[in-house]
A and B are shown apart, each in its own frame.
Chain A
């Protein structure tokens, strides 16, 4: 059984339908990526899964539980973390406070260890633990956003455009971290415009176009498919 199952999901902002009936699934331990251009509905899909928006119809199942009408804060408690588009770190809070907010849904005693784990994953966060996060560069903020999302000990981590606005080196670093997290047992749903980087490490990929899934396959299949190469990789 897959960990996350989305069935015929439709989401509308007022009269405008952004997601027009998509279905996909994420298996345990996989890295699955959604690619597509601006306005394809990728971010809307993630926001709906994490409960920030309500779907107009369709079903979302997470680990055998239907979650499309569960409040956002309870979805986090179920083990589904969302690192939102544009990182959305809290700029005036310190790095440590940002990370602790990631663990907001938890009250257990393991938070301190996880804080250390985040610092091990991204040493720069540990070095600047007390600094206001707004003083960070884009790449550092992305690390913080990922570290923060991991603080809830998610079973499934959803990353919305982690490479946005980053230098190529920083982007490689982030993608390598995605791989590390997968090897540590976290399932990952990745939304990316940078299709090549995302598909390289994805087990499965879905191509979205104006609210529909137009193509799906393994990461490798999509990388070599003609449509993807023409539309998203800029190759002839």
Chain B
């Protein structure tokens, strides 16, 4: 097998041997921006953290320092001092995006000061210095021309450099997440989002992410270990505070459920609109067999048995729903699962002893579910590890992390297996798959019941984490959110679904002041996504190809990545 000859797309000429006036203009802007961060922006200390102190950058001002430092980094690239990096990254596009971010950020800060201080009279000179700096950056970078780039796949840096890049990226994610969660103020959080979105866009436009994704494909093991380490270390950054850990645990439960649904939707291509009912089935089984005073089943087996029973009950429900409907085409399944979700909700609402057996206490649900206990380890207690207290939510967080890891393992194993190939074939052309000897009905049923199994498993833990189980936790809207997380993040992609689930669960927690418009915002977000990036935020390569079938360059890339991976036996598993 030979690599197709790489098209030599090296740089033809170094852009500017001597920096142009634009370059100096942008540099001056970046320096001004940094300088402004050391000045006071506002007289009112209570506003936006505290921006009123000279010579001591407050939280938001540090964000602008980061933007400016990044801009200077790209400016240095442009001066041709680091030719190997320069051919990888498009400094002009990155600079434009960074400048636009800085301008937007500074203007927004000014608006917030004008509205909340109130009045721009409360602004200090530092704010205007910053605005001028940002504007200069934008003016300087606006006319910069992009240079031709080399395809990152043809670039090989020493292995340790690439691994270092991954480690640094992971560390940034860890501290970024801890910082973002630490922002109590909604306005500050919004401004942080502007900063984050702008910087991510800038780095993406600069080509950093396509380079990183190539590196990540080469070092998949390192990436997985790194992601796991970040997730594992996160509770240690919270100093025992339960406020953020509770959100993080909610996010993780939501993400874990979405990962299970991703097997059904993303791999097997089955539209399941009632997936939350399977989570609910697991949760109710767990609650009914717990030591809660409101649990009416006399049998209280050890938790590990409950997990298995909950998962099996869930998958039996999946079989009951799936076996008649999976024989017919996809639309029917969507409608039947939608109905099933409602049936589940109504059923648990009514099994209160009046209309049926007394199992669920109807609308009141089953409260007072005690914390889990494995031997002497009680999940309700705070445990101190290395001097850092880890509270109740951190305990559940670690448990969910194990479940999430298990589901990711199942997902990737299936995706790269014969069964995974069968699912892809069914998605692509069901009739042809059947002619190839793919047991289409059997495989679809397996995906459906398997997904239900995983959701049931997660549900048994969720019941204990939530303390109570009520019917209104398992409504259609939740199923829709799960599906939205998958569509937003990227169907069939583990990383995508994690990102999508985090965004969908985290934003409402942090943006409580727009809670009333939550659905409106999500709806708009999805419409915008469908228009501009239908494959999701972090798509799997195959999905990207499905949405851009006539993109020859993308097709070539898929091929090249395959070749690259095939040439490297270590990563042979790591298919896109």
Give, as a whole number of angstroms, the nearest-CB distance from A71 to chain B.
7
Task: Choose from B1, B418, B549 the contact partner of A134 (Cβ within 8 Å).
Answer: B549
A92 touches B428 (CB 8 A): yes
Task: Choose from B431, B436, B439, B563 the contact partner of A101 (Cβ within 8 Å).
Answer: B436
B559 touches A104 (CB 8 A): no
A135 touches B555 (CB 8 A): yes
**If A94-B562, A104-B421 touch, does A73 touch B429 (CB 8 Å cutoff)?**
no
Interface residues on B, range: 20 to 34
CA–CA, A204 and B442, complex, Å: 38
Give, as a whole number of angstroms, the nearest-CB distance from A49 to chain B.
11
**If A52-B435, A94-B562 touch, does A88 touch B429 (CB 8 Å cutoff)?**
yes
Q: Mark B423-466, 1 if CB is under 8 A from A, else 0.
A: 01100110111111111101000000000000000000000000
Give, as a whole number of angstroms, the nearest-CB distance from B549 to chain A.
7
Task: Choose from A73, A76, A101 the contact partner of B421 (Cβ within 8 Å).
Answer: A101
List of A residues within 8 angstroms of B440 by Cβ: 73
A148 touches B436 (CB 8 A): yes
List of B residues within 8 angstroms of A88 by Cβ: 429, 431-432, 435
B437 touches A77 (CB 8 A): yes
Say yes or no for A166: interface residue by CB 8 A criterion.
no
List of B residues within 8 angstroms of A90 by Cβ: 424-425, 428-429, 432
A52 touches B424 (CB 8 A): no
Say yes or no for B570: interface residue by CB 8 A criterion.
no
List of A residues within 8 angstroms of B422 by Cβ: 101, 104
Q: Mark B400-419, 1 if CB is under 8 A from A, else 0.
A: 00000000000000000010
List of A residues within 8 angstroms of B1 by Cβ: 129-130
Give, as a whole number of angstroms, the nearest-CB distance from B562 to chain A.
4
List of B residues within 8 angstroms of A71 by Cβ: 439
**If A93-B424, A104-B418 touch, does A73 touch B559 (CB 8 Å cutoff)?**
no
List of B residues within 8 angstroms of A84 by Cβ: 431-432, 435
CA–CA, A97 and B545, complex, Å: 15
Say yes or no for B558: interface residue by CB 8 A criterion.
yes
Q: Which of A93-136 contact B (CB under 8 A)?
A: 93-94, 97, 100-102, 104-105, 107, 129-132, 134-135
Task: Choose from B418, B435, B552 the contact partner of A72 (Cβ within 8 Å).
Answer: B435
A101 touches B433 (CB 8 A): yes
Give, as a whole number of angstroms, the nearest-CB distance from B300 to chain A.
42
Say yes or no for B546: interface residue by CB 8 A criterion.
yes
Say yes or no for B566: interface residue by CB 8 A criterion.
yes
List of A residues within 8 angstroms of B552 by Cβ: 135
A88 nearest in chain B by CB position: B432
Of the candidates B429, B436, B559, B566, the one having the most CB atoms from chain A within 10 angstroms of its own CB is B436
**If A100-B421, A131-B559, A132-B555 touch, does A92 touch B542 (CB 8 Å cutoff)?**
yes
CA–CA, A31 and B394, complex, Å: 69
Say yes or no for A187: interface residue by CB 8 A criterion.
no
List of A residues within 8 angstroms of B421 by Cβ: 97, 100-101, 104
CA–CA, A104 and B422, complex, Å: 7
A73 touches B545 (CB 8 A): no
CA–CA, A179 and B387, complex, Å: 78
Task: Choose from B424, B438, B566 the contact partner of A73 (Cβ within 8 Å).
Answer: B438
List of B residues within 8 angstroms of A92 by Cβ: 428, 542, 545-546, 549
CA–CA, A84 and B433, complex, Å: 10
Q: Which of B516-555 contact A (CB under 8 A)?
A: 542, 545-546, 549, 552, 555
Q: Mark A207-223, 1 if CB is under 8 A from B, else 0.
A: 00000000000000000
List of A residues within 8 angstroms of B437 by Cβ: 72-73, 75-77, 104-105, 152
Interface residues on A, range: 20 to 34
Give, as a whole number of angstroms, the nearest-CB distance from B571 to chain A.
14
CA–CA, A116 and B542, complex, Å: 25
Say yes or no for A45: interface residue by CB 8 A criterion.
no
CA–CA, A112 and B422, complex, Å: 18
Q: Which of A132-166 contact B (CB under 8 A)?
A: 132, 134-135, 148, 152
List of B residues within 8 angstroms of A130 by Cβ: 1, 559, 562-563, 566
Q: Mark B252-264, 1 if CB is under 8 A from A, else 0.
A: 0000000000000
CA–CA, A100 and B434, complex, Å: 14
Give, as a whole number of angstroms, the nearest-CB distance from A230 to chain B.
34
B428 touches A93 (CB 8 A): yes
List of B residues within 8 angstroms of A104 by Cβ: 418, 421-422, 425, 436-438
A132 touches B559 (CB 8 A): yes
Give, as a whole number of angstroms, the nearest-CB distance from A132 to chain B.
5
CA–CA, A88 and B433, complex, Å: 9
A82 touches B435 (CB 8 A): yes
Q: Mark A184-223, 1 if CB is under 8 A from B, else 0.
A: 0000000000000000000000000000000000000000
List of A residues within 8 angstroms of B558 by Cβ: 94, 132
A132 nearest in chain B by CB position: B555
List of B residues within 8 angstroms of A48 by Cβ: none
CA–CA, A130 and B418, complex, Å: 17
List of A residues within 8 angstroms of B439 by Cβ: 71, 73
Say yes or no for A44: interface residue by CB 8 A criterion.
no
List of A residues within 8 angstroms of B429 by Cβ: 88, 90
CA–CA, A33 and B350, complex, Å: 64
Q: Mark B326-343, 1 if CB is under 8 A from A, else 0.
A: 000000000000000000
List of B residues within 8 angstroms of A102 by Cβ: 436
CA–CA, A4 and B440, complex, Å: 25
CA–CA, A93 and B541, complex, Å: 11
Say yes or no for A91: interface residue by CB 8 A criterion.
yes
Give, as a whole number of angstroms, the nearest-CB distance from B87 to chain A.
26
Q: Mark B559-572, 1 if CB is under 8 A from A, else 0.
A: 10011001000000
CA–CA, A82 and B545, complex, Å: 28
CA–CA, A201 and B435, complex, Å: 25
Q: Which of A26-78 contact B (CB under 8 A)?
A: 50, 52, 71-73, 75-77
List of B residues within 8 angstroms of A148 by Cβ: 436
CA–CA, A20 and B492, complex, Å: 45
CA–CA, A129 and B567, complex, Å: 13
CA–CA, A59 and B538, complex, Å: 52
Task: Choose from A73, A97, A107, A152 the contact partner of B434 (Cβ within 8 Å).
Answer: A73
List of A residues within 8 angstroms of B431 by Cβ: 52, 84, 88
Binding site for B on A (CB under 8 A): 50, 52, 71-73, 75-77, 82, 84, 88-94, 97, 100-102, 104-105, 107, 129-132, 134-135, 148, 152
Q: Can you show 27 pairs from A to B with CB atoms below 8 A apart? A: A52-B431, A73-B434, A73-B439, A76-B435, A82-B435, A88-B431, A89-B432, A90-B424, A90-B428, A90-B429, A91-B428, A92-B428, A92-B542, A92-B545, A92-B546, A93-B428, A100-B418, A101-B438, A102-B436, A104-B425, A105-B436, A107-B418, A129-B1, A132-B558, A134-B549, A135-B555, A152-B436
- Sample of 5 more A-B contacts, CB < 8 Å, known A89-B432, A92-B546, A134-B549: A73-B442, A100-B418, A104-B436, A130-B563, A131-B559
Nearest 8 interchain pairs by C-beta = A76-B437, A105-B437, A88-B432, A73-B439, A130-B562, A90-B428, A82-B435, A72-B434
Binding site for A on B (CB under 8 A): 1, 418, 421-422, 424-425, 428-429, 431-440, 442, 542, 545-546, 549, 552, 555, 558-559, 562-563, 566
